[in-house]
Amino acid sequence: MTVRKKALLPLLAAALTVAFAASSARAETLRFVTEELPPFSFEKNGKAGGPLAEIVAEACKALELSCPIQVLPWRRSLALAEAGDAEGIFTVLTTSAERRQKFFVMPALIHAEYSFFANEKSDFIYQKPADIRNVRVIAYGPSGTSITLEGLVRQSGGSQPVEVEVSNLMALKKLAADRYDGGVVLMNRDVASYILRSEKLPGIKMVGDAVPLEYSIGLSRKSVSEGLAMRFAAALNRLKETGRVKLILAAYDMRPAY
């Protein structure tokens, strides 16, 4: 071996060490994004809060992973996770075929419902999709809720468009003020209950559950290996089996997935 080659060996070894260290650091970090959607997820004192943030933290601790969580507008969160610029995202519907194409969807954690809400003056009651045929329907969107409502309208045989609001809060404020002329709003029941309590909005009633939901966490297929996704799923299942998930959800008055 020439003197020049011998001199290059330490430099090569140092470069490999740095590269390995960088790779290990990436492997030990899962960056999560979420949206401001209390009580499911929210930002408090500059940190992500809510039941899924707590569950993520415990799963990551068990796997010895660093898992920073950033609260962003939903569209930005989804774009980052779909592109692999964030490894994880919540909240995701476990039954969404579209989400499963882009994410490893983790075991179901939270049970909820999409429910219809109406002004207290309304005599509307929801029992089946046909009940909303030709009824004015509203949802926050574009979102999973508005997409679900479009599907319910198709099932009803109606042809009316889904009216999309900029936020759940805006939809409920207009409903309380009776600005929808007998229209009904589809919303996650837990989200609606939280808003009605915190904003003290009067004059609104729940008029029927429409669609059962199961929420969980998604890991980006572009930046997370199948092996790591399986390890993360196993950690979540252990938290479910030990009753830890149920305890975390109880603190937020939420129900675990069946």
20-38 tens-digit pLDDT:
344 333 448 999 999 999 9
Superfamily of domain 27-111+214-256: Periplasmic binding protein-like II (3.40.190.10)
pLDDT at site 1:
53
In the chain, what percentage of residues exceed pLDDT 90?
Answer: 81
Q: What is the DSSP letter of 42?
A: E
pLDDT at site 92:
87
Residue 221: pLDDT band with limits 50, 70, 90: very high
Protein fold of 113-213: D-Maltodextrin-Binding Protein; domain 2 (3.40.190)
CATH 3.40.190.10, the chain: domain bounds: 27-111+214-256, 113-213
Q: Tell me the DSSP string of 126-175.
A: -SSGGGGTT--EEEESSSHHHHHHHHHHHHHT--PPEEEES-HHHHHHHH
> Which residues touch 194 (CB under 8 Å, ≥6 apart)?
38, 39
| pLDDT surpassing 50 at residue 8 | no
* CA 131/CA 221 separation, integer angstroms: 39
125-169 tens-digit pLDDT:
999 999 999 999 999 988 889 999 999 999 999 999 999 999 999
43-99 tens-digit pLDDT:
999 999 999 999 999 999 999 999 999 999 988 999 999 999 999 999 888 877 888
Coil/strand/helix, residue 119:
strand
- Percentages helix, strand, coil for the chain (3-state, rounded to 5) are 45, 25, 30
| pLDDT surpassing 80 at residue 4 | no
Rounded to the nearest integer, the mean pLDDT of the chain is 90
CA dihedral 114, 40, 249, 152 (to 10 degrees): 10
**pTM exceeds cut of 0.75:** yes
pLDDT at site 237:
98
